[in-house]
């Protein structure tokens, strides 16, 4: 079987704040790590491509963004999402498991459904189904996607305001729960219930994809900044409870004129470990789950944006990983 890789865009960080960011719909998870630690540079390698001057500096009198002229959903997408790379990764992993390409995709916790959008762009036979509880984020995404997609791709993108624990919809090849959204389920029984339900939404050879994050800095109450082109993204681990495993994270944005959007997104989660997740996936009936761990860029000591199957990780400052669970 060929090696599964996902090449992710690198993020240019300042010398001492290399953040591995990751974002979530109503919030995001961004881990930052220091240069010495592997996780750092790209770790939450779901780091966003550096936006172009054109896309990111617009607005404001002098052409730069300000808090007043910025839209937090847009900043979020610019900061932490890499949909094209993730869809490519899912394709490769799915094919390696099933020997066919997937066509139908369910994006749980879809938020602005940018991942679903990338899915329908990828192949004209692809269909995506996004599920989210929040009508406002769905509406924002719907307006944005309509502007961006061709009419034929747009027709293949479907969203519903619904609960991932109960919305059935069509059976699909792939279910994805990304940007750690399922960390919202803090108790084992709740997460097990979600995993069991997600499994029922898959076709016979379907695959459930999850991402996860960790590393010693994820237990540390600190802010990590990442300078993008025209604004700064801040991942704030505001509270971690080592007894319950609960973590409270915020995303803030800061602008060149000194204005800020504080708590643009807030995430009240449990920080699950990979071992717990794999055990729960097995309990939910998945026949196998495989972890994809990011390789190391030996020049920087950070992540290299390439995720490969692994059973041994590194105890680094911050990491993200993917899990593929086979029905």
Ligand X SMILES: C[S@@+](CC[C@H](N)C(=O)[O-])C[C@H]1O[C@@H](n2cnc3c(N)ncnc32)[C@H](O)[C@@H]1O
- The one among 8, 18, 21, 25 contacting ligand X by CB under 6 A: 25
Residue 49 CB: number of other CB atoms within 10 A?
Answer: 17
C-beta nearest to ligand X: residue: 25
Per-residue x/- track, 89-128, ligand X (CB under 6 A) = --------------------xxx-----------------
Residue 164 or 202 with smaller CB distance to ligand X: 164
20: Cβ contacts below 8 Å, ≥ 6 apart: 30, 31, 32, 33, 39, 40, 41, 42, 43, 44, 45, 47, 213, 302, 303, 318, 319, 320
Which range touches ligand X (CB under 6 A), out of 91-99, 130-138, 232-240, 256-264? 130-138
Q: Return the number of the residue (211 or 294) whose C-beta is nearest ligand X.
A: 211
Site residues for ligand X, window 137-166 (CB under 6 A)?
A: 137, 163-165
Q: Is 171 in the site for ligand X (CB under 6 A)?
A: no
24 belongs to the binding site for ligand X (CB under 6 A): yes
- CA-CA distance, 100 to 315, in Å (whole number)? 35
Nearer to ligand X, 184 or 210 (CB): 184
Task: Please tell me whether residue 132 binds ligand X under the rule CB under 6 A.
Answer: yes
Cα 30 from Cα 36, distance rounded (Å): 17
Is 179 a binding residue for ligand X by CB under 6 A? The answer is yes
Handedness of CA 301, 303, 309, 312 (dihedral sign): positive
In this complex, which beta carbon is closest to ligand X, that of residue 140 or of residue 286?
140
301 near ligand X, rule: CB under 6 A:
no
H or E stretch covering 196? helix 188-200
Rounded Cα gap, residues 307 and 323, in angstroms: 11
Determine, following the binding rule CB under 6 A, whether residue 134 of this chain makes contact with ligand X. yes
Closest CB 111 distance from ligand X, rounded Å: 3
- Judged by beta carbon, residue 13 or residue 181, the one nearer ligand X is 181
Minimal distance in Å, beta carbon 164 to ligand X?
A: 4
- Residue 250 near ligand X by CB under 6 A: no
Nearer to ligand X by Cβ, of 21 and 137: the residue is 137
Residue of 26, 106, 144, 252 that binds ligand X (CB under 6 A): 26
**In angstroms, what CA-CA distances link 105 with 12, 120, 170, 173, 208?**
32, 9, 10, 6, 10
Cβ-based nearer residue to ligand X, 34 or 195: 195
Residue 45 sits in the site that holds ligand X (CB under 6 A):
no
Q: Output the smallest distance, CB 20 to ligand X, in A.
A: 15
85 binds ligand X (CB under 6 A): no
Helix axes 135-148, 114-122, angle to 10 degrees: 30
Q: Exposure of 101 by Cβ count < 10 A (0-12 exposed, 13-18 middle, 19+ buried)?
A: middle
Q: How far is the CB of 196 from ligand X (least distance, A)?
A: 14
CB of 168 to ligand X, least distance (A): 13
The values of phi and psi at residue 30, to 5°, are -135, 120
Residues within the interface to ligand X (CB under 6 A): 23-27, 109-111, 131-134, 137, 163-165, 178-179, 181, 184
């Amino acid at each position: 079987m060929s090696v599964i890789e996902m090449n992710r865009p690198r993020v240019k960080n300042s010398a001492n704040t290399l953040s591995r960011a990751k974002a979530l719909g109503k919030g995001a998870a961004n881990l930052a790590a220091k240069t010495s630690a592997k996780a750092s540079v790209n770790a939450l390698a779901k780091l966003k491509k550096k936006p172009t001057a054109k896309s990111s500096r617009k607005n404001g009198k002098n052409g730069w963004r300000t808090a007043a002229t910025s839209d937090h959903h847009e900043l979020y997408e610019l900061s932490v999402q890499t949909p094209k790379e993730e869809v490519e990764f899912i394709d490769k992993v799915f094919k390696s498991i099933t020997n066919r390409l997937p066509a139908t995709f369910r994006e749980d916790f879809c938020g602005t459904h940018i991942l679903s959008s990338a899915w329908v762009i990828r192949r004209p036979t692809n269909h995506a189904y996004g599920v989210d509880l929040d009508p406002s984020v769905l509406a924002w995404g719907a307006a944005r996607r309509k502007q961006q997609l061709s009419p034929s791709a747009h027709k293949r993108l479907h969203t519903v305001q619904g609960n991932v624990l109960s919305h059935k919809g069509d059976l699909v090849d792939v279910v994805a729960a990304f940007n750690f959204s399922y960390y919202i389920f803090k108790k084992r029984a709740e997460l097990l219930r979600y995993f069991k339900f997600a499994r029922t939404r898959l076709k016979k050879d379907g695959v459930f994809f999850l991402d996860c994050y960790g590393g010693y800095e994820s237990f540390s109450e600190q802010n990590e900044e990442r300078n993008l082109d025209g604004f700064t993204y801040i991942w704030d681990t505001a509270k971690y409870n080592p007894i319950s495993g609960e973590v409270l994270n915020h995303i803030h944005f800061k602008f060149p004129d000194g204005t800020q959007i504080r708590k643009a997104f807030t995430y009240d989660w449990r920080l699950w470990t990979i071992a717990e997740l794999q055990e729960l996936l097995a309990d939910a009936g998945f026949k196998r789950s495989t972890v994809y761990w990011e390789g190391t860029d030996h020049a920087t000591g950070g992540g290299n944006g390439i995720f490969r199957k692994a059973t041994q990780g590194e105890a680094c400052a911050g990491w993200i990983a993917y899990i593929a669970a086979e029905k």
